[in-house]
Amino acid sequence: MLNEKFRLSFILFFLFISYGASSFKADECKNFKWQSKSCKIANIISYPSLLFFEGFNQTFEFIKTSLNNGQPVISGRIVREPQITKERFIESEPFFTFNYKKGTRKNAGYLLLAFTDPRKIDKSSSIELWDLKQQEKIHTYDIDFNQIGLKGKDLQRGLKHPLLLEDGSLITYIDTITKNNQKPLLKINKCGKLLVKRDDAHYHHSIEIDQDGLIYVPSRPKPEEIDLNIFPKGFISDGFHIFDSDLNLLSKYSLIDIYKKNNLLKDIISHGPIKVNPFHLNDVQPYKTIDGKKIVLLSIRNQSKILAFDLDQEKIIWIIDRATSHQHDVDIFQGHKDYINISIFDNNVYFFDKYTIPEFESNRYITFENLNFNPNKQIQFIDTPNKFKNYDMKIDSFNYLPINLRPITKTEGLSEFSKSNNSLMIEETNYGRLFEIDLKTKKLLWQFLNKSKKDGLLYYLNWSRRIDSLPGNLNNNSFESCDDS
């Protein structure tokens, strides 16, 4: 009897030690290392205890925050891998950290900050305008969420990629699906009052403006607009709408039609079962040439392609393929008479394990130069290393930054190059971080971490926008008074 108890005690003790060792190993593996075989085994064995521990931590934080505020709080859009991300930035201060003296950086510009605000009890969406030279907030948009129809958890996803207009108003969209299965597009004045609401389509991802003040937004057609004789039920197509500044619809384009007219539809329907979401358009970047021709660059995430499309002739000019992996945010940072230079924020997800933070790989900032935008009879495919070299492809992998400061956002994110400041801003959307790098010194100019305290959890960002100068005649004093008429 005694021996049996001893054996049982020994087995339990051995399992306890083994389980503890596995948990310790799994925790060690989280420290920004590639996952070895032993790490993966440890992760599987220790998953139940770590899941319980993670739940305990979040529950404790929920109770503590609720007690501090005197009422229960909604958890909000907490970032991916919250505990790992918390540890990653545990030494960094919350919100803004500036690494230059106030008023000293001449072309520091402005930031239209869009984020899930961890300081609010309901963790609702906020939009703020910041002067990066003076390192101060100019304006907070006091948005009437009841007027635009947001409540509960929808407040946390809130409003995305706001575009600042010359009168101080914003164009944005609701990043949550409404009852009629749409994502409405909005125009809000500087006081937060709703001016226009379009709920006629599923608007998503980027909002961009061209030299004539026209606005371009990716959109998805309604299910009844999909040809079910060709595509399966549930098929997700994409396209984009073009509006004036009052959100009057001027024209709209369908990617199915674009692919069909350019003899590319076989790329969608000729490789076995048709994929339900073959495009996932996440950016429409407009450009007007010197002779008045209008083109757009289209970022097709699920094909990892960038297309240049002539709006007037409805022809694809060229396609960049095999250079990126699930990229976002293509920009034109310089235009010549016959050529353009572009940048791409490459999520580089091919190198990311689903449950780990990589040690050696990160997002990438890619540029191509001297891309011709004159349409030829045939599409130009830029899809090999030699062709990349012809267009002076350059890759910034941020290897000069410490491992924990390299951007690794997987499903969202953006970049903004400032020529006047010679700097690059990155939004690491999935992990609640914004930062700007001086491209000469490779040093961080500033960083924003979306947490309310140093050891707090981080919350999502909602696609912020860096602005070199305020549009039109706007200045810092334009937001001091509010005409709510």
**pLDDT value for 351:** 61
Q: Which residues contact 148 (CB under 8 A, 6 or more apart)?
A: 174, 184, 186, 188, 194, 197
pLDDT over 70 percentage in the chain: 78
Q: What are phi and psi of 180, to 5 degrees?
A: -90, 20
Q: Looking at residue 461, what DSSP letter applies?
A: B
Helices (H), 175-330: 255-261, 266-269
What is the pLDDT averaged over residues 39-60? 52
**pLDDT value for 275:** 73
Tens digits of residue pLDDT in 305-322: 999 999 999 999 999 999
Please tell me the distance from the alpha carbon of residue 336 to that of residue 339, in angstroms, as a whole number: 5
**pLDDT value for 28:** 40
**Neighbour-count burial of 310, counting CB atoms closer than 10 A to its CB (0-12 exposed, 13-18 middle, 19+ buried):** middle
Q: What are phi and psi of 444, to 5 degrees?
A: -70, 125
Q: Report the range out of 13-22, 23-32, 315-324 with the highest average pLDDT.
A: 315-324
Query: What average pLDDT does the chain have?
Result: 84
**pLDDT value for 15:** 53
**pLDDT value for 67:** 44
Q: To the nearest 10°, report the CA torsion of 40, 431, 363, 372.
A: 140
Residue 215 has pLDDT above 80, yes or no: yes
Record the pTM.
0.83
Residue 71 has pLDDT above 50, yes or no: no
Question: How sure is the predictor about 153, in pLDDT bands with cuts at 50, 70 and 90?
Answer: confident
341 within 8 A of 367, measured Cβ to Cβ: yes
169 within 8 A of 188, measured Cβ to Cβ: yes
3-state secondary structure of 57: helix
Whose CA is closest to 162, among 142, 193, 138, 188? 188
* CB atoms near residue 227 (< 10 Å): 9
Token pair belonging to 459: 């919350």
Residue 207 has pLDDT above 80, yes or no: yes
- Which one is predicted more confidently, 291 or 127? 127
Question: How sure is the predictor about 274, in pLDDT bands with cuts at 50, 70 and 90?
Answer: low
Of 224-228, 242-246, 391-395, 400-404, give the lowest mean pLDDT range.
224-228
Number of residues that this document lists for the chain: 485
**pLDDT value for 135:** 98
- Which one is predicted more confidently, 462 or 42? 462
What is the pLDDT averaged over residues 445-450? 98
Q: Secondary structure of the chain: what % helix, strand, coil (to 5)? A: 25, 30, 45
Please tell me the distance from the alpha carbon of residue 375 to that of residue 33, in angstroms, as a whole number: 46
What is the pLDDT averaged over residues 89-113? 96
What is the pLDDT averaged over residues 259-278? 79
Question: How sure is the predictor about 41, in pLDDT bands with cuts at 50, 70 and 90?
Answer: low
Whose CA is closest to 209, among 174, 176, 175, 162? 162
What is the pLDDT averaged over residues 132-158? 89
3-state secondary structure of 147: helix
